[in-house]
Amino acid sequence: MPVSSTLEMPAWTGAGPATTPAQILARAKAAAPVLAARAEEIEEARRLPDDIVALLRSTGVFTMAYPASWGGPVLTPVQQTEVVEALATGDASAAWCAMVGMDSGLFAGFMAEPAARELFPDLDMITAGAIPPKGRADRVPGGYRINGDWQFGSGITHCDRVIAGVLVYRDGEPEPNPLPVGGRAHWRIIVARPEQFEISDTWYTTGLAGSGSRDYRAKDLFVPEEHTFSFANPVVPGPAATPDSILRTMPGVPLGVARAALDHVRDMAKTRVDRPTRQPWPQNYRVQTTLAQCEMDLLVARHAVYGTLRRQWELLTSGAEITADEQVAVALARVNAFRTARTVVSTLFDLVTTAAIYRPSPLDRWLRDLNAMCQHATVQDQIVQSAGAILLGGKPQNPIALGLPE
């Protein structure tokens, strides 16, 4: 779709690539108003328009996870999350797709370099897909025969590569995971081109509609061994080679949406008057208290996310031992960010009352987007249970969310 005539793309689009963390963040912040102006169009299209994908590419967001050895800009998880958060102040679906699509650099680190460079010849490659092992991979000479159905392929309408989780079978029987983990089913991730899958237009949702998170299917698809990887056995060890690496930037989306909602209501409060009392909102006790409470809740949630990410990265890069409390901190801060953001926007929605349900008020869309986000597997009670299990020596239901391989 063409760019809206009322708002032009930032001047730097079409210029050279962003090569530093500061440049990428600055471009993400500059892109946010464009995304906000196009948010209704994005939602109605149920996917990102091509020029919006081009805009995201030009920010450098999809290059963020590549290491220096690949010529990447070398952003820490904190810096990556800040970029996603900035984009989310513009549009949740665009930021969600950016957060998912930038995982190419992380996946490359789990694979042998020749295969990784074959699959990702350009640092701007976008990935989409789902990692839960909903597919079956039967061993055949040179690789695997893949069959399966997957949901929630966010960004699959515009991606360069698709990933999918599978369980490996040998001679018709489930194959145990190889060492060093061993003992459990062999869960692998395959990487292939989008045209190798059947993509179904199933994404009719109340929230995150613009993410294009469609279902996809493979039938007797051959994937070479070298085009697969395991979170349990990264080829390139290091701080980014942990199963939860693809989850670290997720809180940026809800935090950015909540920030946009607060800024929106604070701006409208400048001229709004309480009808029953005829009191201007800036002088109204209820409004003052509600906005301050929302700011307080978001402030605490945001600092928890960035504080735990920073601490985790320090420990991982130094090779220090990570305690059980430190292991679960990032996951709990992540869950809390999603839930707090939804509560904040819901509270603001109620504060604004009926004005929130009429277009062009974005509060309704933000609330629907956050409700959809909070249905994600990494925001469920099983993550909280898994954290408690680690703290008490029990069995976590979702170890990958805590950085533990299956």
Structure tokens at 96: 């969600």
pTM flag (> 0.85)? yes
CA distance 140 to 187: 16
Structure tokens at 191: 């990487």
Q: Nearest CA to 274 among 353, 359, 210, 346?
A: 353
* pLDDT tens over the chain, length 406 residues: 334 444 677 877 766 788 899 999 999 999 999 999 999 999 999 999 999 999 999 999 999 999 888 999 989 999 999 999 999 999 999 999 999 999 999 999 999 999 999 999 999 999 999 999 999 999 999 999 999 999 999 999 999 999 999 999 999 999 987 765 545 689 999 999 999 999 999 999 999 999 999 999 999 999 999 999 999 888 888 898 888 999 999 999 999 999 999 999 999 999 999 888 899 999 999 999 999 999 999 999 999 999 999 999 999 999 998 899 999 999 999 999 999 999 999 999 999 999 899 887 899 999 999 999 999 999 999 999 999 999 999 999 999 889 887 6
pLDDT confidence of residue 1: 37
Spans of all domains in the chain: 127-229, 251-402
Could you count the other beta carbons within 10 Å of the beta carbon of residue 318? 9
Location of structure tokens 């409060």: 269
Name the region of 127 (left: φ>0; alpha: ψ -120 to 50; beta: rest): beta
CA distance 59 to 149: 33
The CATH number fitting domain 251-402, selected from 1.20.140.10, 3.40.50.10470, 3.40.50.150, 3.30.565.10 = 1.20.140.10
DSSP letter for 255, please. Answer: H
**CATH architecture under which domain 127-229 falls:** Beta Barrel (2.40)
Q: Nearest CA to 373 among 405, 331, 340?
A: 340
Kindly write down the DSSP assignment for every residue of 257-302, as one continuous string.
HHHHHHHHHHHHHTT-EETTTTEEGGG-HHHHHHHHHHHHHHHHHH
Q: Nearest CA to 47 among 96, 105, 106?
A: 96
